[in-house]
Each structure stands twice: as structure tokens, then as C-alpha cells.
Structure 1
Amino acid sequence: MSNTPEFLVFGATGQQGGAVTRALLEAGRGVRAFVRDPYSEKAKSLAADGVSLAVGDLFDRASIDLAMKGIRGVFSVQTSSPSGLLTDEQEVEQGKSVADSAVSNGVAHLVYSSTGAAGKGHTGMGHFDSKSRIEDYVRSLPIATTITRPASFMEMMMLPGMGLNTGVFTYFMRPDQSMQMIALHDLGRINAQILCEPGIYAGQVIELSGQDITGKDLQDAFSHAAGRPIRYQRFSEELLSENDFLKRLTALVDNGVVAGIADIAALEREFGPMLRLGQWLAGPGKTLFENALSAEPSSIGLR
């Protein structure tokens, strides 16, 4: 593995940045991770794996500039407002700040991880529209950029309150309606490949997904993996009437904005086989799935 960091990864202690960091390390590339707390367990684990830590805050431009020194490629992802940690405007501010810093510090290539709902018109969901705004800004700058738009993560289905522990799993789709999803493992390796080959991918916007999945597919895959029946049903009308966030997301699945438009066959020709749900449940997602099956009753953690 290279000891000199080539790539700066934001969100390295989180889901997306963590997946990209792991993939870059597996490829033998040097990584610098931008972290707020170098003493957190996740940050210490990164350091133990050979990742260089750049300590800073996304609201502190000077710390971002310092982290950019000597870097040739950046993976940029920001926390969204549903986390409760920042507003949509603050997300946009952070996304712009990372991009501006990359330009000012002579970085050759910026990869921005957006969302599958971006670039398809105004959605009315702030944490989707914020990413469209960041995309537009990034494209306006004098730097080679690649924008990736991941579909919903398979990991999201393992959040509390989705019903796996009750034998009745609830989600957005009707039983016969499909929605694209991707495993974080695939998101990580694809973004890592893009970072390593800017000459091929600069200037592209790439929709990412691993599989078109229906509610019936979920029922079959979960039942097989659990070794017992897991029934699927869509979020109830009662729940949607009480939860405006889920109601609006469900409407965006119905009108296609969040359902996904990635050309999965083309992705596999370019980046290799994508994990299907059954493979994910037996592999990277096995522990998450087993934990969800035995979880204590909880309100829905999706937000």
C-alpha cells in the first residue's frame, strides 16, 4: 500500500466515505481521511489501517485547505438534514466549500456523491434538492469532476422499526413495484475506481444501482435468508398520513424520482458484477440482517 496519501475522503467514518476508503485501501492506494475527532473509535480504526487523518471541520475552510495539500483526488459527501445535525443550506455551504478548496489547492479531480433523486427537477424534499444545487455548483468550477448518484442503500432497510423482527417488513414499494438499490460495498468500489481513473470518468454523471427490487423480491429474499416467512407490505396509509416525511418520499417513489433510472447492465459492463440482495444478505449485510431480525421493538428509524 502507498504510504503517501493520494486521495482525500470526506465522510470516511460514515457509510459512503467509509466504503470508499476501504475500497481504496484494498486497491493499495494511499488515503487521507477528513475527521472531526481523531480519537473516536472509527477514526482510530482508520489510522490503524494506515489511513492518514486530517483533523478539521467542514465549517472551517482553513482546515479543509490544509487537508487538501498534496492531494490529487477528492471524494466529497456531506451529511443531510434528516440527520438533524445540519440544515439543507448548511449542507450546500459545506459542499461548495469542499469544491472551492479543491480548486484553490490544485486538486486534479473531484468526485461528488449526490443522490439518485438529484438532477430530475425540484422534488420539494430539501435534502434532495440541496444535492442538485451542489451538483450545479461543482459543474461550474474549473476542475475535472465526476458526479455519482447512488440509489437507495440496501443497508437502509436494516434501520430500526422496519418490521423484520415482527415478521412483517414494511417499505416504500407496492408488492409489484420496483425500486433500485445498491450495496455500500459496490458504491465504495465504484467510486474508488473512478478516483483512480480520472481520465476515463471525469465529466461524467453516473447513476448507481445494483438491482431493481420489488416488494415481492424483498419478501422472498428476506424469508430465504431468515429461514422463516417474512411478509412484505407497503407503508400503511395510516402511517403515511401521520408521517409527512415518509409520505413525500413514497410519492417520489411512485412518480419515479426516487425509484431509480440507473442502467445496471451498463454499470456491470464497466465496473463488474453488482451485489444482488440475496448475495448482500449472505455477505456484507448478514450481520445487519441478523441484528434487525432480533431487534427490540422500535419506532421507524428512517428519516
Structure 2
Amino acid sequence: MPIVAVTGATGAQGGATARALLDVGHQVRALTRHPDSPAAEALRALGAEVRHADFDDRASLDAALAGADSLFAVTTPFGTDISAEVRQGKALVDAAAAARLGHVVLTSAAHADRGTGVPHYESKHLVEQYLRAAGVPWTVIAPAAFMDNYASGWTLDGLREGTFAWPMPADRPLTLISAADIGAFAALVLRRRDEFTGRRIDIASDERTPGQIAEILTAAIGRPIAHQEVPLPYVRARSADLAVMFDYFTTVGLDVDVACLRHDHPDVGWHSFADWAAGQDWPALLSPVPARQ
């Protein structure tokens, strides 16, 4: 089968896409800055070809895309900044165009094309626009809020204390999606390019309020979890970008048509938030963090 190159293959979205493609027999070329990492070795064990690629090294991108048929493209401002995300995204699109790929699937963010004012949504939209003008067949998939973020970082720290700390009111709905569903939908788009080329699609698999999320986490974890609304000024003091995002979630919201997606694409195997929560290894995730020496 044709080779599908997957950027960010050792990350959440790229890794899920690579695994979904491998599951249906595609040849996958996993692109990563760290080809010797444990995550890269795991992909090799599943049958992927792993290549080094760095968005700031055009020669590495050209070599990594040579002979590929299509590309799953993911960019991020986290660990860099939004200007770097735009620069790197454009470099990746230029390399894809030079390689004359038959299809580029870019993952963005739900509502990034709606003038949200959220900095890392605006940067993704600039990459989307650049892709549309590049002259290669394209599809943009735009995930809603990531379920997987509830099992890491400061959210996980709160869960250890019995609190779901989230900067939204308890009764405000938010559309959600798991990394596994992003990967499955991306693989579907890559397999059925004629159906999806030239389309931009916001995707989500469930809609829950923070209060409902706390209840579901209580059932999955097996101990009481209470929602606590984190004040936006507290978030803003740590990240102005995220504060704008949570303000948008609260005042406007992400209106993704979950029912339509489930009806039109049942083979994705969409996960509800309860499905996702039940599938996590909470005892391992919530084990005490060793104190630093």
C-alpha cells in the first residue's frame, strides 16, 4: 500500500494516527525528532518505518517525505511559541508541495477558523490558510478539547487530591475527543481521500459539563472527585493563551455536531468520556509522585 508519512508520530495525535493506519495494513513512515526514543521503538515493533525529521531542517523534511504518498501533519506551539508553530507549519507544507504528495491531512483545532482570538488557534488557522493555497490536495480535521489532558499535568495533580480543577463553571458544556478517536478519524480520511479532500471538519465524540466530568471521574477512579472552578486570573497569571481559550469555552463554547459525526462515521469507534475514563489506569496515574532529592 502507499506510504503515509506521519509527523509527531511519538506524540498523542501522531502516535494514535500511526497506530490506526498500521491496524488497517497501511505502510507508515513515522517522522520524529527522536527516532531512538522508546515511543519510536514501540512504533517500529508495530511495523512502522521510523525516520528523523525536524521542522526547522528542510533537508530532513525533504528526505523524510521522499517517496511518500500522503501526510498526516500536526504542529504545536507548546514547547516553542505561536510564531514558531506558523514557521514550522509552513515549512512542512512547502516540503509536502515539493514532494508532490497526493493528500495532506492537517490537524488543527475546532473553531480555529472562527476568529476566536485564542493565540494558538490563530496560529493553527494561519497554517490552514497556507495549506489551502499550496496547491496540494488537503483536508483539515479540527479536534475539540482533548480528553487525554485530564490524565496529565495540573489536572492530574488535582485528581490526586480529589478535585477536578477546571477553569469553567460546573454547568457549561464542552465538546471533547480522545487522541484515539482523532487518530481513527485521521486514518479514515487518509483512506478515503476522494470523500474528504478540500474539506475542513471540526470533530468531537462527546459533550459534557465539568460537573458531569467530575461525576464520571468519580465512577472511573472509585473515589469522590469534586469539580472546582479555577478562576481565570489564576490561569492568566500562568498562561495568557490558555486563559483566552477557557474564556472562549465558557462564553462561546465549541459547538461540534457530535451526533452527526457518530451517525456518518460509525466505523471510527467513537469514545464517550465515560469510555475513555474507564480505559485509564488510574491507580498508576494517581500514585504519589516521588519527592525530588
CA pair 164-122 structure 1, distance change in 2 beyond 3 A: closer
1:34 is displaced (CA, Å) by 1.1
CA pair 144-19 structure 1, distance change in 2 beyond 3 A: same
1:294 is displaced (CA, Å) by 3.0
- Aligned residue in 2 for 1:159: 152
- Aligned residue in 2 for 1:301: none
Match of residue 280, structure 1, among 276, 279, 287: 276
Match of residue 137, structure 1, among 121, 130, 133: 130
Quick check: 2:217–2:225 contact (8 Å CA) kept in 1? yes
- Is 67-76 or 241-250 further displaced after alignment? 241-250
Alignment of 1:184-223 (within 5 A): 184-223=179-218
Distance 1:94 1:13 in 2: 17
Quick check: 1:164–1:292 contact (8 Å CA) kept in 2? no
5+ residue gaps, structure 1, are 299-303
Q: Say whether residues 1:239 and 2:239 are aligned partners.
A: no
Alignment of 1:3-82 (within 5 A): 6-80=3-77
- Aligned residue in 2 for 1:290: 283
Distance 1:153 1:290 in 2: 21
1:174 is displaced (CA, Å) by 1.0
TM-score (norm 2): 0.91
CA pair 17-241 structure 1, distance change in 2 beyond 3 A: closer
Match of residue 114, structure 1, among 92, 108, 118: 108
Match of residue 101, structure 1, among 63, 88, 95: 95
Match of residue 178, structure 1, among 152, 173, 178: 173
Quick check: 1:112–1:148 contact (8 Å CA) kept in 2? yes
Distance 1:73 1:122 in 2: 30
CA pair 204-239 structure 1, distance change in 2 beyond 3 A: same
5+ residue gaps, structure 2, are none
Distance 1:276 1:161 in 2: 22
CA RMSD of aligned residues (A): 1.9
Q: Say whether residues 1:248 and 2:244 are aligned partners.
A: yes
Distance 1:244 1:89 in 2: 16
Quick check: 1:216–1:232 contact (8 Å CA) kept in 2? yes
Distance 1:174 1:223 in 2: 18
1:144 is displaced (CA, Å) by 1.0
Distance 1:297 1:46 in 2: 29
Quick check: 2:167–2:231 contact (8 Å CA) kept in 1? no
C-alpha offsets along residues 242-294 of structure 1, whole Å, 9 cap, x if unaligned?
445343232111222xx3221111111222142111111112xx12x334433
Distance 2:198 2:206 in 1: 25
1:235 is displaced (CA, Å) by 0.8
Distance 2:188 2:232 in 1: 42
Q: Which amino acid aligns with 2:162?
A: G
Distance 1:244 1:69 in 2: 39
Quick check: 1:180–1:212 contact (8 Å CA) kept in 2? yes
TM-score (norm 1): 0.89
Q: Which amino acid aligns with 1:63?
A: S
Question: Is the partner of 1:181 in helix, strand or coil?
Answer: strand
Distance 1:279 1:168 in 2: 20
Question: Is the partner of 1:76 in helix, strand or coil?
Answer: strand
